[in-house]
Structure 1
């Protein structure tokens, strides 16, 4: 059984329900999920806009990251979706979930998946601030 059940990088709204459905498994005693949302402040500065961009290899890299987590943590299912394009304050930017036989493995896999995704998957955030300045986060 392939534990990686849903992966995607999309320019459309993300659905927590879709991600949770993708990891549903009758043998899972625990399901953990994380939703990263666009906030209106960063480092004390008001955020007025946010855009995500991705490298063409983004989905291949996302699969590699997810498969590594699945190989190292005993999970029943893993899923991850990330937005690209312009997002509004409060919108989900990333949703990840992990289902495992026990809660500890679900928590561990979910945390590893989001941490590894943020570190290794080539998605970059461009923020604009209320004072007219901007910055790229995670860009090479």
Structure 2
């Protein structure tokens, strides 16, 4: 089985570099699907989103999710990167790159990983407003749970 590439990091990532590392000169790869999640500005009210994680546990859970996706969808490669720290609107938060022989497996694999990252990986978000106010920690959404549950 292929091993997923998993990183939790403060620094930004380059989407094209990650795609190239996963797919160039890899036998059998016929499709690559990427998902890049960005920090929204929440209608101009958000100055930054602060992301925290549980070190060690976040990477372990992301690896578990990645291994499930590789096995379930026959992926030939998978990269998942999640950033932490203060991230301003427009900056990258998360990247998922799934490589497979055919497009549907790559789409499904990337979608599966994101649905589980949103609900199972130990990350927390706090909003910081443009008015200087520090917001509350962002609560999980029922829609995220529903998206995850469709894979069961």
Structure 1 length as normaliser, TM-score? 0.88
Q: Which runs of 4+ in 1 moved over 2 A?
A: 129-133
* Secondary structure at the counterpart of residue 95 of structure 1: strand
Task: Tell me how far apart the structure 2 counterparts of residues 126 and 3 of structure 1 sit (CA, whole Å).
Answer: 32
CA contact (8 A) 1:22 1:79 kept: no
Unaligned runs of 5+ in 1: none
Q: For residues 1-140 of structure 1, what are the structure 2 equivalents within 5 Å?
A: 1-4=1-4, 6-24=5-23, 25-41=26-42, 46-56=45-55, 57-131=57-131, 132=133, 134-138=135-139
The Cα offsets for residues 52-92 of structure 1, whole Å up to 9 and x where unpaired, read as: 10012111111111111111111111110010011121110
Task: Tell me how far apart the structure 1 counterparts of residues 73 and 138 of structure 2 sit (CA, whole Å).
Answer: 29
RCO higher in structure (CA 8 A, sep ≥6) = 1
CA contact (8 A) 1:11 1:84 kept: yes
* Secondary structure at the counterpart of residue 39 of structure 1: coil
* Secondary structure at the counterpart of residue 49 of structure 1: strand
Task: Tell me how far apart the structure 1 counterparts of residues 2 and 75 of structure 2 sit (CA, whole Å).
Answer: 10
Larger displacement relative to structure 2 (130-139 or 54-63) = 130-139
* Secondary structure at the counterpart of residue 2 of structure 1: coil
Task: Tell me how far apart the structure 1 counterparts of residues 27 and 40 of structure 2 sit (CA, whole Å).
Answer: 35
Unaligned runs of 5+ in 2: 141-152
Task: Tell me how far apart the structure 1 counterparts of residues 20 and 80 of structure 2 sit (CA, whole Å).
Answer: 12
RMSD, matched Cα: 1.7
